[in-house]
């Protein structure tokens, strides 16, 4: 039987198709978020099913998560992203005790207990500082694609000190740094350090290891090293870190008792 997890995040929609019998991922996909979240999610789900030679009727159960989960009509159940991210990481990296998830519009830290379940969490969803949106703003200001920001930062010799933890004020600060002759490389590296420091401050007390890094920002080269420096502990990037929540949703769907669709 086939199950699906849909993560309707703030910046992207992720879908995972799972073979419920052996918990094997059959397919996964990502699409940019938009106004018609339900249509975008159904379109991505339909494309993945077509690629696997499957139909909607072949789905045993669908679980939705993320900010837009309540808008996904195809969902049989809606579960918070905290629970789904924890379940996804537990499947991929069973020994994980802490999760740092940095997405487009929020960042969160999960603490897992010995059974791999979420014991507690802290989230920043009120300010774009410390999120992927911060990196997007910086990339635009520096005139580079977001995918190249990490490469730019890797060439830094003296990372700039970014003191502002508000995106608006930080952008103004970056403009001033550029005007004073600070290199784009040093600014990019400074921003990575600033985001990592913000996340470390959220963590408060020391995080238990192993620590897994998930979310779209985990794909930015150098962010894992910046986190390791800020936390003082090793950080492992989860496999396919953007789809961890959707994977967790699909795994939870597989655990539920099937219902007539």
> Are residues 211 and 188 part of one domain?
yes
> Are residues 116 and 68 part of one domain?
no
Residue 260 belongs to a domain: no
> Are residues 222 and 129 part of one domain?
yes
pLDDT, tens digit, for every residue of 128-169?
556 778 888 888 889 898 888 889 999 999 999 887 666 677
**Is 261's pLDDT higher than 50?**
no
Residue 120 belongs to a domain: yes
> Are residues 133 and 189 part of one domain?
yes
Q: Exposed/middle/buried for 188, CB within 10 Å: 0-12, 13-18, 19+?
A: buried
> Are residues 248 and 219 part of one domain?
no
> Are residues 128 and 70 part of one domain?
no
> Are residues 153 and 81 part of one domain?
no
Q: Which two tokens stand for residue 193?
A: 């350090």
> Are residues 9 and 117 part of one domain?
no
Quote the pTM value.
0.89
Residue 37 belongs to a domain: yes
Domain extent for 154: 95-237
Work out how many domains the chain is built from and give that number: 2
- pLDDT at position 185 is 95
Choose the weakest-confidence range: 60-74, 88-102, 160-174, 233-247: 160-174
pLDDT, tens digit, for every residue of 57-83?
999 999 999 989 999 999 999 999 999
CATH of the domain at 70: 3.30.420.40
């Amino acid at each position: 039987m086939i199950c699906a997890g849909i993560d309707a995040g703030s910046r992207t929609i992720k879908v995972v198709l799972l073979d419920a019998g052996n918990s094997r991922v059959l397919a996964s996909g990502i699409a940019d978020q938009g106004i018609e979240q339900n249509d975008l999610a159904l379109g991505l789900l339909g494309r993945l099913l077509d690629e696997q030679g499957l139909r909607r009727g072949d789905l045993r159960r669908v679980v939705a998560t993320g900010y837009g989960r309540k808008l996904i009509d195809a969902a049989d159940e809606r579960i918070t992203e905290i629970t789904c991210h924890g379940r996804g990481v537990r499947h991929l990296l069973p020994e994980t005790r802490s999760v740092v998830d940095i997405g487009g519009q929020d960042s969160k830290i999960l603490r897992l207990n010995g059974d791999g379940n979420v014991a507690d969490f802290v989230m920043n969803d009120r300010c774009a500082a410390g999120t992927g949106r911060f990196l997007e703003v910086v990339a635009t200001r520096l005139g580079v694609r977001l995918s190249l920001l990490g490469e730019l930062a890797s060439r830094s010799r003296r990372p700039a000190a970014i003191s502002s933890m508000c995106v608006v004020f930080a952008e103004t600060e970056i403009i001033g740094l550029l005007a004073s002759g600070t290199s784009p490389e040093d600014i990019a590296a400074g921003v990575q350090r600033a985001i990592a420091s913000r996340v470390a401050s959220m963590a408060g007390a020391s995080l238990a290891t192993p620590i897994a890094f998930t979310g779209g920002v985990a794909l930015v080269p150098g962010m894992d090293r910046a986190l390791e420096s800020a936390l003082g502990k090793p950080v492992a990037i989860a496999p396919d870190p953007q789809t961890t929540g959707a994977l967790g949703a699909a795994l939870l769907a597989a655990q539920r008792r099937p219902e007539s669709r």
